[in-house]
């Protein structure tokens, strides 16, 4: 089983996420994902960005939230994830430190 | 097949107006959306709520459902749709048809395809809103996202892991069932928690001539009994007897790949970190470090002889551990 390349082009992202190029541009314009590269032809998207784009699209579709709302939700969800991770991590450290 | 009380699912009265139904749906959809919710049954709940709304928002479907409900919620017998009920015929002709994500109950009333079983932990994404209505339609297969648990030890070198996951399988008649697929996946050294690996074409099969979807593996580092992960560094807590902390010692320290000798300097303190270079996780450009965090622990019981020693120490030592309080 061969792993495919690490990055998606603009076209590949549209195809993989089944979003129109305009939707992807909306997502980029709102800073939800920030591809490497200056113009659509040279844009490169990481796997992380592919998954964020999909999540953004699902939230937009299922909850009828506009893109600026999505941008806010995504950044808050990311922050929540980080804080949960950090909390789990610190709890574990504390346990090791206080436990026998 | 169980009768589904869509009103109860949306927590609305049976005479609720469309506005109340919409509000209730929106509230629950936000609460249970699988991308937002931590609820362990979020995906199931979300589907249930979506299904309830799909029926109750549509006056025609709602009327059909209400009628069924009046008959005491008997699940319709075979051929019920053709039995003179007005409204939609079997699913394929209705303009919008979910691709098998609704319950058997829903499908028995409004037509459609049944899906047996459900993914365990996998989340289908991408084409869920891919309604299809006519023969000849083609659509890329579903992408599948699933967690891939990896032991810390396995991240040090390239490794090969077996993974099993569930895939929706559509037969010639459009019926959907679940099949389990097993793959051997090469995991490159240095993968990190949350990283995604894409396996092209290993997702759900395409409809018509369209290609299969992809499989996305999300790396999950399995918590280790001894080591905690901090970026590419590892942390291990080293318990020390008070005299080891005071006098210093040499001990065998476990690392991810074998034991090494660690020297504890005299006058060590709880919380102090000793850095062991290069013994952390693998990075793209080398290795992270291992940090040994010291923790002074008291023996559980003190013998009479030990007590004598502690008393001598107490008498001869001017150490004031609560100096800060007296400032």
Q: pLDDT by residue (tens digit) across A22-74?
A: 999 999 999 999 999 988 999 999 988 998 999 999 999 999 899 999 999 99
CB-based contact (8 Å) between B27 and chain A?
no
DSSP single-letter state for residue B225: S
pLDDT band at B115 (very low <50, low <70, confident <90, very high): very low
Decide if pLDDT at B287 tops 60.
yes
B216 in A contact zone (CB under 8 Å)? yes
Of the residues A13, A56, A96, the best mutation for testing chain B's interface (the one with the most B CB atoms within 10 Å of its CB) is A96
Q: What is the pLDDT of residue B177?
A: 83
Cα-flanking dihedrals φ and ψ of residue B176, to 5°? -110, 130
Of B130, B196, B295, the CB nearest to A47: B196
Q: How many Cα atoms occupy the beta-carbon half-sphere of B323 within 13 Å?
A: 4
How far off is chain B from A99, nearest CA to CA, in Å?
10
Domain ranges of chain B: 1-114, 116-222, 227-301
Q: Which of A17, A47, A93 sits opposite B198 (nearest CB)?
A: A47
Q: Are B237 and B293 in contact (CB under 8 A)?
A: yes
Query: Does residue B151 surpass a pLDDT of 50?
Result: yes
Looking at domain B116-222, its CATH class is mainly beta
Percentage of chain B modeled with pLDDT above 90? 53
pLDDT of residue B25: 94
Residue-wise pLDDT for B304-317, tens only, equals 999 999 999 999 99
Domains B1-114 and B227-301 share a fold: no
Can you tell me whether residue B194 is helix, strand or coil? coil
Q: How far is B71 from chain A (nearest CA, A)?
A: 32
Query: Superfamily for B1-114?
Result: DnaJ domain (1.10.287.110)
> Is the minimum CB–CB distance between A3 and chain B shorter than 8 Å?
yes
- Within 8 A of B293 by CB-CB distance, chain A residues are 97
Separation CA B26–CA B281 (nearest Å): 44
Direct distance between the N- and C-terminal alpha carbons of chain A, in angstroms, rounded to an integer:
45
Which residues in chain B are contacts of A17 at CB distance < 8 A?
126
Contacts of B126 in chain A (CB under 8 A): 16-18, 54
List CB contacts (< 8 A) between A96 and chain B.
Answer: 228, 237, 295
State the pLDDT at residue B140.
Answer: 81
Check: CB of residue B236 under 8 Å from CB of residue B290: yes
Specify the CATH number for B227-301; select among 3.40.50.2300, 3.30.230.10, 2.60.260.20, 2.30.30.100: 2.60.260.20
**Domains parsed from chain A with CATH numbers:** 7-98 (1.10.1660.10)
Query: Does residue B13 contact residue B6 with C-beta atoms inside 8 Å?
Result: no
pTM higher than 0.80: no
Q: Phi-psi region for residue A16, left (φ > 0), alpha (ψ -120 to 50) or beta?
A: alpha
The verdict on a CB contact (< 8 Å) between A77 and B36 is yes
**Cα(B21)–Cα(B4) distance, rounded to whole angstroms?**
16
What does the pLDDT read at residue B67? 87
Residue B182 has pLDDT above 70, yes or no: yes
- Provide the pLDDT for residue B293: 96
A-contacting residues of B 251-290, CB under 8 Å?
Answer: none
Is the ipTM, as predicted for this complex, more than 0.90? Answer: no
The whole-angstrom separation of Cα B34 and Cα B28 is 12
How far from chain centre, in Å, is Cα A87?
A: 21
């Amino acid at each position: 089983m061969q792993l495919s390349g690490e990055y998606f082009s603009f076209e590949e992202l549209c195809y993989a996420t089944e979003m129109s190029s305009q939707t992807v541009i909306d997502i980029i314009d709102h800073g939800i994902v920030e591809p490497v590269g200056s113009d659509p032809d040279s844009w490169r998207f990481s796997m992380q960005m592919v998954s964020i784009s999909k999540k953004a699209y699902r939230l937009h579709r299922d909850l009828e939230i506009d893109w600026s709302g999505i941008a806010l939700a995504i950044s808050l969800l990311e922050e929540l994830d980080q804080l949960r991770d950090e909390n789990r991590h610190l709890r574990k450290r504390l346990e090791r430190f206080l436990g026998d | 097949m169980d009768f589904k009380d869509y009103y109860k699912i949306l927590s609305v009265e049976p005479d609720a107006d469309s506005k109340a139904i919409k509000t209730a749906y929106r509230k629950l959809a936000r609460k249970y959306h699988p991308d937002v919710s931590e609820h362990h049954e979020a995906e199931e709940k979300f589907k249930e709520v979506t299904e309830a709304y799909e029926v109750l928002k549509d006056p025609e479907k709602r009327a059909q459902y209400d009628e069924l409900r009046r008959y005491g919620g008997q699940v319709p017998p075979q051929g019920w749709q053709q039995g003179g009920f007005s409204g939609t015929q079997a699913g394929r002709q209705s303009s919008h048809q979910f691709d098998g994500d609704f319950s058997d109950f829903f499908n028995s009333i409004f037509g459609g395809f049944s899906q047996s079983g459900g993914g365990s932990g996998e989340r289908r994404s991408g084409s869920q809103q891919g309604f299809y209505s006519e023969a000849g339609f083609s659509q890329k297969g579903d992408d599948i996202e699933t967690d891939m648990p990896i032991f810390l030890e396995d991240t040090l070198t390239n490794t090969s892991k077996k993974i099993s996951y569930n895939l929706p399988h559509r037969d010639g008649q459009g019926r959907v069932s679940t099949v389990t697929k097993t793959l051997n996946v090469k995991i490159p050294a240095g993968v990190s928690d949350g990283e995604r690996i894409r396996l092209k074409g290993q997702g759900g099969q395409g409809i018509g001539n369209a290609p299969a979807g992809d499989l996305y593996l999300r790396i999950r580092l399995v918590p280790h009994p001894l080591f905690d992960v901090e970026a590419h560094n590892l942390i291990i807590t080293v318990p020390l007897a008070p005299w080891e902390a005071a006098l210093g010692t040499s001990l065998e320290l476990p690392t991810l790949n074998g034991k090494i000798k660690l020297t504890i300097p005299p006058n060590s303190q709880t919380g102090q970190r000793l850095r062991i270079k290069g013994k952390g996780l693998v990075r793209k450009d080398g290795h992270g470090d291992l940090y040994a965090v010291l923790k002074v622990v008291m023996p559980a019981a003190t013998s009479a002889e030990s007590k004598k020693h502690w008393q001598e120490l107490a008498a001869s030592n001017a150490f004031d551990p609560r100096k800060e309080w007296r400032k």
